[in-house]
Copies of this chain bind each other. A is one copy, B any other.
Amino acid sequence: MRLRFMRPIAALVLLCALIPAQAAPPDDRTLTGFDRESAERERALEARFDALLRKEDLREWMKRLSARPHHVGSPYDRENAEFLLGLFRSWGYDAQIESFDVLFPTPKTRLLELIAPEKYTARLAEPPLKEDSTSAQTSEQLPTYNAYSIDGDVTGQLVYVNYGVPRDYDELDRRGIDVKGKIVIARYGGSWRGIKPKVAAEHGAVGCIIYSDPRDDGYFEGDVYPQGAYRNEWGAQRGSVADMPLYPGDPLTPNVGATKEAKRLDIKSAPTLTKIPVLPISYGDALPLLKALGGAVAPVGWRGALPVTYHLGPGPATVHLKLEFNWDIKPVNDVIARLKGGDLPEEWVIRGNHYDAWVNGADDPISGQVAMLEEARALGELARTGWKPRRTIIYCAWDGEEPGLLGSTEWVETHMDELRRHAVLYVNSDSNGRGFLEVGGSHTLEKFMNEAAHDVSDPEKKISVGERLRARRVLDGDADERREARERADFRIGALGSGSDYTPFLQHLGVASMNLGYGGEDGGGSYHSIYDSFDNYVRFIDPTFDYGVALSETAGRVVLRFADADTLPLSFGDFTETVGRYVREVSKLADDTREEIAEKNRRINEGTFRAVSDPTETYVAPKAEAPAPYLNFAPLQNALARLQESTKNYQAALNSTAAQERLRSRETQGQLDEVLKGVEHSMTRDAGLPRRPWFKHQIYAPGFYTGYGVKTLPGIREAVEQHNWKEADEQVTVAASTIQQVAAEIDRATALLQGGR
């Protein structure tokens, strides 16, 4: 992508500052993976594609698909599957429904009461609103609950644990507060929700309540629904609490598809169910509980926006929590639609978005689903007029994403072998809103994604969405980020953790993946509530569906280019530079951690904690810890050096006239694709990550204690974070050999370009 953003003078300065390896393509007309001529054809096709997109379709389909609650196993979820199937077929796709049978608990009993110092029984219900036409469909709505909480009937003193992540318990330790035998109340935020009961149970709590503090998505952020978009007093966030950082998908069938005949674990032994009962509540229900807490005042950063002094407890607030679930096996129905490729039908470009919701789910996930449908419809139209993709395109409307990426995970596990042979890309979306391009993915796709973002126009600003994204980074970033946003040839894309259906593709299968959407001007608090409705969406999120169409343009362009490119449009410069950053990051993390431990020990030795603490408050000074060793990062640095060398050689080979000549042959193109496809797979290891073999990718993983949040070079990073020095040392070696493996794959591609095989 060109540096179109710069004014002439600034651009002149930049020309000197640019690193040659990062330089933009010679002109606007070239595209990674295409020669000049095919790029021209491609752009003409894309113009026809854009012209076919109609925002009226998005609006109409959203209204249809979100008209009734449609969670896993519900009648309307099934109706939607049939509707989607019909649409794909009507557009000429070879479409089927593929079903799996998964564990999906729904509530039978939900009771939460404050029994001391006074009585309060939680309402646990979101009231219908006259301003929201679907909010009164109470008979079909799933009540507010957390899926995969175990059954339980517990009573205990309450302790407020902030976000309920490990460092919050360290803070409680310092105040002499133990949650053993207690019920914790955590607020949403700061981690994926499933981390909260997991960490609470690790610390001995017997129950876990999660509430939505108005600080995080309620009145503190903006006017509440229906006056504004934010969560009102009785809104609560449903959601899964399965231990997905261990493995996503059906808790009973790890690693294999949940087909009829699959071998299933006992529910009792399923490791991803919670260890303690968990219930989400509204801030209306949380207020009496928090008000009744005594004990020390919570640290400043823990205090939310409720009009009370936040205390930690334990007690005198004592609560009784009783939960029972129907532990049913329910079907999930994935709608899979194929448009077969011409030249390279064995290479599959896969595009997916889920369609199941917690309730009506107009935003999550229908806003993304309808953008995907519109893409698919337009491609169908193009196909009708004679165009045929070189590679096979597969559209997937996933079911069961909400409870735990069920539809996508079971499909990937079922088709593992053929996907490994055929899949060249997975493109995901989920909720979509108004604002800025949000993109995460494999860094081998970074340059490609920059080219695509360069060609999509922002509906509000009539500049490219890439340009708008850079402008925001200039405004919000620190000096380094600002300089990069202006000067780096490509804007950076984020690394993927988890939270949507790309996870099985990227982290289990090892296929280059990306996740796309728009947002940032569409704040609100309807997430996983009955108020995530059509009425809400068209008032507060993307009223005109212009950003829905922008998503169709973006993801459709990605699919089209990948399907039609001469060779797979992967490139390695950005990837290698990014891995270099990760290497520096984990090395700095190790240094910082070593210094932190040394500083802590020094403070203990010098009596600093004792000298400062207020004798009228409980304060337990931290315990001394063995000094952290210096880790041997040399293998990683050597691997990185080799990767840099391989990347440089590949780029040189690719730019050579001889290679360009060779690449005119379809056979060579196919051979190169085969090698390029293998590069992402070479980032995985069969053994997976320590204690979670399902996660095979060695560069990206969801954090074991963050959930959705990504950990890059996860093996090393998490070992250092856990102060597990032996494992950190081992994982440096593992990561180094993985990176050597990636370099070897790139070398194979280089050899091929140089006329070898």
Contacts and interface: CB of A to CB of B under 8 A. Distances in A.
B472 A606 contact: no
Nearest to A436: B612
Interface string A496-535: 0000000000000000000000000100000000000000
A17 interface: no
Contacts of A603: 474-475
A18 interface: no
**Chain B CB within 10 Å, residue with most, of A230, A609, A612:** A612
Contacts of A224: 309
A309 B223 contact: yes
A16 interface: no
B303 A461 contact: no
Given A471-B611, A606-B10, A521 B297 contact: no
Interface in A295-320: 297, 303, 305-309
A382 to B, nearest CB: 32
Given A475-B612, A521-B616, A611-B467, A303 B220 contact: yes
A602 interface: yes
A611 B223 contact: no
**Chain B CB within 10 Å, residue with most, of A221, A305, A306:** A305
A298 to B, nearest CB: 10
Interface in A596-632: 599, 602-603, 605-612, 614-616
Contacts of A599: 482
A6 B603 CA distance: 11
B308 A608 contact: no
A626 to B, nearest CB: 18
B303 A463 contact: no
Interface in A360-375: none
Nearest to A608: B471
A621 to B, nearest CB: 11
A219 interface: yes
Nearest to A471: B611
A612 B471 contact: yes
A92 interface: no
Contacts of A7: 605-606
A5 interface: yes
A507 B7 CA distance: 50
Contacts of A404: none
Interface in A216-260: 219-224, 228, 230
A460 interface: yes
Contacts of A220: 303, 309
A33 interface: no
Contacts of A221: 297, 309
Contacts of A435: 614
A231 B463 CA distance: 51
A472 B612 contact: yes
Given A7-B605, A611-B467, A612-B475, A222 B307 contact: no
Interface in A255-300: 297
A297 B606 contact: no
5 contacts: A10-B602, A219-B309, A305-B305, A472-B612, A474-B606
Interface of A: 5-7, 10, 214, 219-224, 228, 230, 297, 303, 305-309, 435, 460-461, 463, 467-468, 471-472, 474-475, 482, 521, 599, 602-603, 605-612, 614-616
